Amino acid sequence: MTLLQRLLAEMSTANDRLLTTAASLSDDDILAPSRLPGWSRGHVLVHVARNADSHVNLLTWARTGVVTPQYPSPAVREQQIESRAALPAAEHVADLRDSVARLDAAIRDHPEQAWQAPVAGLRPPPHPAWYIVVRRLRELGMHHVDLGAGYRPSDWAGAFVRRELNDCLMTWSREHSTVSAVRFTGSSHTPWHDLGQGPEVEGAPADVLAWLTGRSAGEGVKVVPVGRSSRPGAAGQDLPPAPPWLTMTAPADLPATPPKDYP
């Protein structure tokens, strides 16, 4: 099975799980606050649906060579979300299902050679079209948690956690880091070192990812105790604020051709 086949199988499962959660919500549930400040669950669902359409735009760009922006502008994206956030639950489910079908069709019909074509999101750097699938999986996994409807970081698949931690590290801003190292407990995941200023922290991979991406306040993550830290004087502190996340749309210098595995 190729990388794209594995990613698409993972995306199919993520779509099904999100649609199941969305279908369980009542009209009142839709209007209730999500875990994202200022957004209801309806806002989150509209965003995920429009994000699917935005990736169809990027696939069109890759296929045709005609620059087709992911979104016309940040203002248009915001207006699209606000205008539909309060729709009844059934309309949200139908909208999400239709957007998923459009993206699935665009992926199915995408020429193999066009997966190498460079495209760009709202922020740099450009990336090859195959990475669109990774970005879409990120949207599904993070925003499913953001609904605050029973799906939690502990429900993330191991492959998702491993990939997103890789991209956190590959896009790490050492200038703005709040930690110097990250250790992973209960896992063979390689520790991260030389991240910048701050204490060393440790936690299970999913807990670390949830903290780094703003999906938790740091539950399950702690500063490495005095005596085990390689930075004497840095340990014994409270957990610092999480460093900036996703400072770039994609890691720089991704291979143009889909690799055998990622990461």
The mean pLDDT values, 10 residues at a time, for the chain of 263 residues are 97 98 98 98 98 98 97 94 98 98 98 97 94 98 98 98 97 96 94 95 98 97 76 66 94 95 94
Residue 237, pLDDT score: 76
> Quick one: angle between helices 158-170 and 131-146, nearest 10?
110
pLDDT at 235: 45
Q: What integer pLDDT is reported at residue 128 of this predicted model?
A: 98
- How confident is the model at residue 228, as a pLDDT? 64
Q: How many Å apart are CA 25 and CA 55, to the nearest integer?
A: 26
* 38: Cα within 13 Å, side-chain hemisphere: 3
Rounded distance, CA 192 to CA 172, Å? 11
Check: pTM over 0.75? Answer yes or no. Answer: yes
- Domains of the chain (ranges; CATH) run 3-151 (1.20.120.450), 161-251 (no CATH)
Task: Give DSSP secondary structure letters for 124-173.
Answer: SPPEETTHHHHHHHHHHHHHHHHT-SS--GGGS-HHHHHHHHHHHHHT--
Backbone angles phi, psi at 65, to 5 degrees: 80, 0
